[in-house]
């Protein structure tokens, strides 16, 4: 009943849960199937819920005149929950999506620059997926913070460790290997897996707290940050 179990440990647990002979020598030919089932099961569970212990914050330092930035290596771009830029002592939300209307107002192609960054998006730059910010920063030293769910660590080698709960993964995998709804014993495993999932998710809901507003009042952005006043400064370059 823990996270961080190795793939090898999960395989041994799955052998027993799915009613295979626990002696590894007698079910060696089944190992690739066990491993793939465990891998697929964890990926499905990862996709279905924003597990709070996988939440990360990753910062990118903004540079004057730099329009594109590399994506933080372990950040799942599809699971970004919020992006903020630091303006003075406050964090200000940065919305996703850059359109032609934005370029019409402040043209990044002409190297027009402004602080603070107001928008971001993911774009393909010569075959590489990168982060674009708009407007192009006027000054060095700004901080762009991404909050979201990190990428799932792959289960490939026997020593690779699972990110999610071992019982949850093994019970769902066992139910699948045992034939799903066609097998009453498999149904029991799947029922136990569902109960385990509801228990783990329920703990998250109970411990989740509302955001706060600095100073105890005023309008915030829903994430605990007061809305800071932006200092607008536009400077076409060149």
Query: Looking at the predicted structure, is the pLDDT value of residue 229 above 60?
Result: no
Q: How many residues does the chain have?
A: 238
d(CA 221, CA 228): 10
Residue 236: predicted pLDDT: 52
Residue 218: predicted pLDDT: 47
Distances (CA, A) of 130 to 100, 125, 127, 196: 19, 7, 9, 38
Give the domain ranges of the chain: 7-51+163-206, 55-150
Q: How confident is the model at residue 233 (pLDDT cuts 50, 70, 90)?
A: very low
As a whole number, the mean pLDDT across the chain is 87
153 close to 37: Cβ distance less than 8 angstroms:
no
Give the residue, 156 or 205, on which the prediction is more confident.
156
Q: How confident is the model at residue 237 (pLDDT cuts 50, 70, 90)?
A: low
Centre a 10 Å sphere on the Cβ of residue 222 and count the other Cβ atoms it contains: 11
Cis check: omega of the bond before 54, within 30 degrees of 0: no
d(CA 102, CA 24): 61
Query: Looking at the predicted structure, is the pLDDT value of residue 182 above 90?
Result: no
Give the residue, 209 or 183, on which the prediction is more confident.
183
> Residue 214: which of 117, 93, 116, 91 has the closest Cα?
91
156-171 pLDDT per residue, tens: 999 999 999 999 999 9
Residue 238: predicted pLDDT: 52
């Amino acid at each position: 009943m823990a996270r961080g179990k190795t793939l090898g440990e999960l395989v041994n647990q799955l052998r027993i849960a799915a009613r295979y002979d626990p002696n590894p020598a007698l079910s060696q030919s089944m190992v690739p199937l066990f491993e793939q089932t465990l891998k697929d099961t964890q990926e499905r569970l990862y996709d279905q819920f924003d597990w709070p212990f996988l939440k990360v914050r990753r910062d990118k330092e903004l540079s004057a005149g730099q329009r594109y930035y590399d994506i933080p290596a372990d950040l799942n771009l599809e699971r970004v929950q919020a992006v903020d830029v630091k303006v003075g002592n406050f964090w200000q939300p940065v919305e996703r999506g850059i359109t032609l209307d934005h370029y019409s107002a402040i043209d990044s192609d002409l190297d027009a620059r402004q602080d603070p960054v107001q928008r971001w998006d993911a774009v393909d730059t010569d075959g590489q997926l990168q982060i674009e910010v708009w407007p192009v920063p006027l000054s060095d030293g700004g901080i762009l913070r991404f909050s979201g769910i990190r990428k799932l660590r792959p289960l490939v080698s026997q020593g690779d460790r699972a990110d999610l709960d071992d019982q949850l993964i093994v019970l769902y995998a066992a139910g699948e290997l045992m034939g799903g709804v066609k097998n009453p014993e498999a149904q029991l495993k799947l029922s136990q897996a569902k109960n385990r999932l509801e228990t783990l998710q329920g703990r998250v809901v109970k411990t989740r707290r509302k955001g706060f507003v600095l100073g105890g009042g005023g309008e915030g952005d829903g994430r605990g940050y007061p809305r800071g006043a932006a200092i607008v400064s536009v400077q076409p370059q060149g």
